Structure 1
Amino acid sequence: MKKQLLLIAVAALLAGCDDAKEPVSFTPEMASFSNEFDFDPLRGPVKEFSQTLLNEKGEVTKRVSGTMSKEGCFDTLELHDLENNSGVALVLDANYYLDAETKEKRLRLQGKCQLAEFPAAGVTWDTDDNGFVVLATGKEMEVKYRYDEEGYPLGKSTTSKDEHLTVASTPSKDKRKKLDYTSLSTLNDKPLGSVKQTCDYDSHDNPLSCTLDVVDLSVSPQVTHKYSIKNTIAYY
Structure 2
Amino acid sequence: MKKLIALALVSATLAGCDDAPAPDAFSPEMASFSNEFDFDPLRGPVKDFSQTLMNEEDKVALRVAGTLSKEGCFDTLEFHDVENNTGASLVLNANFYLDAMTQEKRVKLQGKCQLAELSGTGLIYETNEKGFVVAARNNEAEIIYHYDSDGYPLGRTAKSKDKTLSVEATVSSDKRKKHDYTAETTLNDEVVGRANQSCRYDSHFNPLSCELVMTDLSVTPHKIQKFTIKNTISYY
Alpha-carbon separation, structure 2, partners of 1:207 and 1:233: 9
Which amino acid in the other structure matches residue 215 of structure 1?
T
Q: Partners of 2:101 and 2:221 in 1: how far apart?
A: 44
Q: 2:88 — aligned with what?
A: 88
Gaps of 5+ in 1: 1-10
Partner Cα separation in structure 2 for residue 60 and residue 136 of structure 1 = 31
> Hey, what's the Cα distance between the residues in 1 that align with 2:48 and 2:19?
26
* Number of residue pairs the alignment of both structures matches: 223
Aligned to 1:158: 158
**Aligned partner of residue 169 in structure 1, secondary structure:** strand
Note the 1:161-200 alignment, pairs <5 A: 161-200=161-200
Q: Look up the match of 1:52.
A: 52
For 1:1-236, what aligned pairs fall within 5 Å after superposition?
18=18, 21-236=21-236
Distance 2:106 2:213 in 1: 34
CA distance in 1, matches of 2:80, 2:97: 17
Alignment correspondent of 2:3: none
Superposition deviation, residue 201 in structure 1: 0.3
CA deviation after TM superposition for structure 1 residue 19, in Å: 5.4
- Provide TM-score, normalisation by structure 1: 0.92
Quote the sequence identity (%): 62
Moved more, 185-194 or 219-228: 219-228
Question: Over residues 22-70 of structure 1, what are the superposed CA-to-partner deviations in whole Å (9 max), with x where a residue is unaligned?
Answer: 0100000000000000000000000000000011001111100000000
Q: CA deviation at 1:138?
A: 1.7
- Cα distance, 1:221 vs. partner? 2.4
Q: Which amino acid aligns with 1:50?
A: S
Measure, in 1, the Cα distance between the counterparts of 2:222 and 2:176: 32
Letter in structure 1 aligned against 2:41 = P
Q: Once superposed, what is the RMSD of the aligned Cα atoms?
A: 1.4
Amino acid at match of 1:184: E
